[in-house]
Structure 1
Amino acid sequence: MSASTPSTPTSSSFSSRSGTPPPGTPPNLHQNTIDPAAQWLVQKYGGTSVGKFAAQIAEDIVPDYLDQHKLAIVCSARSGSTKALGTTNLLLRAASEALQRAPPSSLPSSSSGAVTPLSSSIFHRGSRSNSPPQSGLNGHADVPAFSATVDVIRREHLVAAKAAVRDRAVLQELEAEIERDCEGLRGFLYATQVIDEISPRSKDSIIGFGEKLACKIIVAALRDRGIDAEYVSLENVVPPHDDVDAGSDGALGQSFYDKVSAAFAERIQECGPRVPVVTGFFGPVPGSLLRQVGRGYTDLAAALLAAGLGASELQIWKEVDGIFTADPRKVPTARLIPIISPEEAAELTYYGSEVVHPFTMEQVIRRKIPIRIKNVENPKGGGTVIHPDADVDATIAPHDNADGLHGGIDLLTLGDAHFLAPQKLPTAVTIKERIVVLNVQSNRKRVSHGFLAGIFGTLDRFGVVVDLISTSEVYVSMAIEDVLDRKLQARLVRELEKIGTVSVHHQMAILSLVGKQMRHLVGIAGRMFATLAQGNVNIEMISQGANEINISCVIDTRDAVKALNLIHQSCLQIKPEGPKGRVGPWLF
């Protein structure tokens, strides 16, 4: 066993390379269409959707797409009843606990406590595990802390399995899988404890258990409802990367992701007419998946798969109807945006709105594949389309007419959906809270050429990302997220004080007005700031992006809700009488 990367217990694959169903497969299962003209459709389900709505996904959503499309499903790890009980958070906790010193009595014995899957398993396609037997905990009075965390993961997934699967035989198979995977995880954590080290790749492998468990629950739920689903793990699909291109900072180049995309598509094609249920985790990735991508790797996996398959659409299913003109929890008149440009979606992501990460979005948009955000609780809704065509655009009109259509605006058609013709209005207004403003004034009479270099070099050493910046010859104002603890923040200020006089303002927020149509809209900035002034909202700093689709300012957090409503009514021209019908929860 390597001193840096313990070997992961090899699980028997759910997948079948032969194209034949496993022994005991019921006849007449619903499969993907075999129409050669049908295009692929990739659906990605987030952790909350998998955690709360697995049965609804299998019963109400997936069957509606099988006869028109070739469907592939990508799943995140399940969320829990609380954030702390989310699978990924529990796995990260277990990894941390594995490095805590354990008593000798907690080390595994030679007896096996693992659950061996049936050879005719609907998951394993007739194969058996070649994993080494994993130790149970029987006979040990003192067990490491991570073992209790693994038990929580096991219990949460067994409860979810019973809620999602009705057929007794399918449920028994699934429960055996959950037991087996959790014992495999426990054994992996024991190994890391023995060598007293968790490498980045080992941490990736630990995190990957979450997606495996989630996908197996969805596979079982689908088969329980007569859909021929196949589990697909992507952990051994990434092609060799000896010649991978990487930047000076170690970031992987686009050619690597193109190879991964093609490899994903090739593996999915082997599923034949069965519906592939794909782990969002993929690896090994040079430099670690978590380091290269972060915890948004499931969205990226779905995007790469959609790009490789040339999908007609990438659907991201959440618990919201789509992207809104503002936060409906704070702005009662907020309305659903039917279609939005990638540039606008990226700006909203940067300034506090969880849309889709710009890099993930880029992987499908560059292949001219639309992204549609849909609601698992409202599957018939149209959602919001992030469309790659720069000429397709739509905005929200000022008011609705008696027919529910926006008054005075012509409709245009995109596929089977109807959208509104563009107006020169902003698209959305958003707020990013928990912001700190750092002001640095040069302590020299004449500014040194190294003034800005010194500031940004200091921020880089502390790992601080600047959201907004405003500069003059001797003065720099920066808005950053309030993510540093107070001691680290005090150290940062002391370092900056070597460059100039520093002042710090807490409890601030970034208010951003975003819209592709604002590029040539004269007077919109004046209207925005005049509206804030009339509402007695003080502005700390102002910034506008070079792409001219975003105007941002920093205000006091106490004024955030008032400012959102004022700008929403004034600049988006949506009056306070409120929308018709269901607004639903806020995406962001």
Structure 2
Amino acid sequence: MPLTKPVYNNSPELPWVVQKFGGTSIGKFLDNIANQVIKEYVKQNQVVVVCSARSGENKQTGTTNRLIRAADEALRPGSTEYLQIINDLLQDHLGVAEEMINDPEILKELKHDIERDCTKLKSFLEAAQIISEISPRSRDIIIGVGEKLSCRIVAAVLQDRDVDAAFVSLENIIDREFEALDQTFYDYLAERMAAKVRECGNKVPVVTGFFGIVPGSLLTTIGRGYTDLCAALTAVGLGAEELQIWKEVDGIFTADPRKVKSARLISIITPEEASELTYYGSEVIHPFTMEQVIRAHIPIRIKNVQNPRGQGTVVFPTDAVSKDGTATPPHSPKVLAENGYHLDLSRKYPTAVTIKDSLVVLNVHSNRKSVSHGFFAKIFSTLDRYGIVVDLISTSEVHVSMALGADSNERDLPRVIEDLKSVGRVDLLKNMAILSLVGKQMKNMVGIAGMMFTTLASAGVNIEMISQGASEINISCVIEESKAVTAMNVIHDQLLSKQSTLVLPAVKQSTIASLMLD
């Protein structure tokens, strides 16, 4: 009598865990994901898998970027390049299916589904070329095919590895009109996503990160991080024990480990710190994701698909709002420890240092022909008209310096500069970078800013701009991009290392604890 293979599935008595996998992880480490991650977690949790579109060695060659190019090509009269792009995507995904799937029945069904999705996409783009129009919402639909193809492959691979998985598409989940992406909309989405997941019963849902037509277009209003948001809202709707973001790194480090040899893994970090690191160069978590899960009091754990047994980094909601919408007190060190999270209250140095490069600095010097409020009004209305995003700003009554992302503003910058010449002299500095020192406890470190700038000066790093005040947990400055790695290393060695000589005014342990957890 043949032995029956074990089947891994969700048990309703176990707590929910939502696992989000990025495109590169799915493209390169799918076997690890199936055998070493999902199979292990499903033994102790009800698991939901949320997937991005597959990527190769880098995002530029990934499925989403190729779909965006296909949409652009379809708008070019007479172009057939989009047909080649779709055919290449079809062959790539069919090749992965044949490589990863052993069961002939599972493989046959998967290939049929992939071919059907690509045929529908081809017809959609042909129609768009005929009418010479692709609306923002139509572009969303085109991009969403990437998540569908990815999730079909992941679900089939899990089935092939004896995991009772189900493909779940969220493309039609929104069944009523909303005017804006506000909290009412997010609450509705969380509820709908959770209901869709529960329909799977004991099966492990493999959910598309794309969740349909949203007010103002998914790509425009949320951006490329919408898969993270989907995972977050699913976790909120299910009341999950944890949201896991799986990457190709062990978690969040005190600095970029590729550039700073002494960088250390951070075991636990506050949401505020994680948000600052995300904005100023460290690709951590989409800000919408952070907001939704933290207000629902759900920890976020960042882990490595190549090292599933590692603890990763936990973003713990120390200042969260409870699920019924009322404020909750901060977690005490005892509560953190009981839940397996250990916060180092003896730490007397900042949490991390990060670099955001490829910036330009725009300086505007008033010609004094307008009063100060007119000077500022003209500058910011001009930036708004061209959709220019300012990363960092430093002002006086007659001078404004702004750090701007070079890539996103290169096309419009000449026109911006020309318009701003009416209020004063304008000059531009290229090849700059923002260095940011981040730490929840820094607001209690008297003299930390002085030590930061003294350290940079001793390393021969010139500072173009300084910004502190908008956030009590972040000190940022603009430096030359060529000095960025040197600056990050000296700051890390002097201010973040456990062996550093950082000496600040003495503070009681209880005071540090209250400041870190308030």
TM-score under structure 1 length normalisation: 0.80
Give the AA of the match of 1:437. V
1:171 maps to which of 107, 125, 131: 107
Query: Where does residue 320 of structure 1 map in the other structure?
Result: 249
| Shift in Å, 1:416 | 3.5
> Are 1:226 and 2:204 matched, yes or no?
no
Measured at CA, do residues 487 and 388 of structure 1 come closer, stay the same or move farther in structure 2, by a change above 3 Å? Answer: closer
Query: Where does residue 348 of structure 1 map in the other structure?
Result: 277
1:72 maps to which of 37, 41, 48: 48
CA contact (8 A) 2:54 2:146 kept: yes
Shifted more, 277-286 versus 192-201: the winner is 192-201
Segments of 5+ residues of structure 2 without an aligned counterpart are: 320-329, 501-518
Q: How does 1:493-504 map to 2 (within 5 A)?
A: 493-504=417-428
Measured at CA, do residues 411 and 361 of structure 1 come closer, stay the same or move farther in structure 2, by a change above 3 Å? Answer: closer
1:471 maps to which of 382, 395, 406: 395
Query: Where does residue 29 of structure 1 map in the other structure?
Result: 7
Query: Where does residue 98 of structure 1 map in the other structure?
Result: 74
How many percent identity over aligned positions?
57
| Counterpart-to-counterpart distance in 2, 1:187 and 1:296 | 27
Instruction: Determine helix, strand or coil for the equivalent of 1:281.
Output: coil
| Shift in Å, 1:490 | 1.6
CA contact (8 A) 2:75 2:129 kept: yes
> Are 1:559 and 2:483 matched, yes or no?
yes
2:359 maps to which of 430, 435, 449: 435
| Counterpart-to-counterpart distance in 1, 2:211 and 2:184 | 17
Q: Which has the higher helix share?
A: 2
CA contact (8 A) 2:372 2:397 kept: no
Measured at CA, do residues 486 and 376 of structure 1 come closer, stay the same or move farther in structure 2, by a change above 3 Å? Answer: closer
> Are 1:273 and 2:202 matched, yes or no?
yes
Query: Where does residue 300 of structure 2 map in the other structure?
Result: 371
After superposition, what is the alpha-carbon deviation per residue over 1:104-130, rounded to whole angstroms, capped at 9, x for unaligned? Answer: xxxxxxxxxxxxxxxxxxxxxxxxxxx
Measured at CA, do residues 486 and 360 of structure 1 come closer, stay the same or move farther in structure 2, by a change above 3 Å? Answer: closer
Measured at CA, do residues 536 and 375 of structure 1 come closer, stay the same or move farther in structure 2, by a change above 3 Å? Answer: same
Segments of 5+ residues of structure 1 without an aligned counterpart are: 1-25, 103-142, 247-251, 395-409, 577-588
Measured at CA, do residues 555 and 393 of structure 1 come closer, stay the same or move farther in structure 2, by a change above 3 Å? Answer: farther
| Shift in Å, 1:182 | 1.1
CA contact (8 A) 1:80 1:156 kept: no
Query: Where does residue 149 of structure 2 map in the other structure?
Result: 213
Query: Where does residue 573 of structure 1 map in the other structure?
Result: 497
> Are 1:546 and 2:470 matched, yes or no?
yes
After superposition, what is the alpha-carbon deviation per residue over 1:433-490, rounded to whole angstroms, capped at 9, x for unaligned? Answer: 1111111111016634211011001111111111111111111111111125655322
After superposition, what is the alpha-carbon deviation per residue over 1:517-537, rounded to whole angstroms, capped at 9, x for unaligned? Answer: 001111101110111111111
CA contact (8 A) 1:341 1:393 kept: no
| Shift in Å, 1:58 | 1.0
After superposition, what is the alpha-carbon deviation per residue over 1:243-302, rounded to whole angstroms, capped at 9, x for unaligned? Answer: x353xxxxx211011111101111111110000000000112122111221111100100
> Are 1:458 and 2:382 matched, yes or no?
yes
Measured at CA, do residues 266 and 92 of structure 1 come closer, stay the same or move farther in structure 2, by a change above 3 Å? Answer: same
Measured at CA, do residues 349 and 487 of structure 1 come closer, stay the same or move farther in structure 2, by a change above 3 Å? Answer: closer
| Shift in Å, 1:28 | 5.5
After superposition, what is the alpha-carbon deviation per residue over 1:397-430, rounded to whole angstroms, capped at 9, x for unaligned? Answer: xxxxxxxxxxxxx997252354533423210000
1:54 maps to which of 30, 37, 43: 30
CA contact (8 A) 1:382 1:417 kept: no
Query: Where does residue 62 of structure 2 map in the other structure?
Result: 86
CA contact (8 A) 1:393 1:422 kept: no
Instruction: Determine helix, strand or coil for the equivalent of 1:235.
Output: coil
| Counterpart-to-counterpart distance in 2, 1:553 and 1:205 | 40
Give the AA of the match of 1:520. N
Measured at CA, do residues 373 and 414 of structure 1 come closer, stay the same or move farther in structure 2, by a change above 3 Å? Answer: farther
Query: Where does residue 8 of structure 1 map in the other structure?
Result: none
CA RMSD of aligned residues (A): 2.0
Measured at CA, do residues 161 and 93 of structure 1 come closer, stay the same or move farther in structure 2, by a change above 3 Å? Answer: same
Q: Who wins on radius of gyration, i.e. which is larger?
A: 1
CA contact (8 A) 1:509 1:556 kept: yes
Measured at CA, do residues 393 and 206 of structure 1 come closer, stay the same or move farther in structure 2, by a change above 3 Å? Answer: farther
| Counterpart-to-counterpart distance in 1, 2:114 and 2:338 | 43
Query: Where does residue 213 of structure 2 map in the other structure?
Result: 284
Give the AA of the match of 1:348. L
TM-score under structure 2 length normalisation: 0.90
Query: Where does residue 301 of structure 1 map in the other structure?
Result: 230
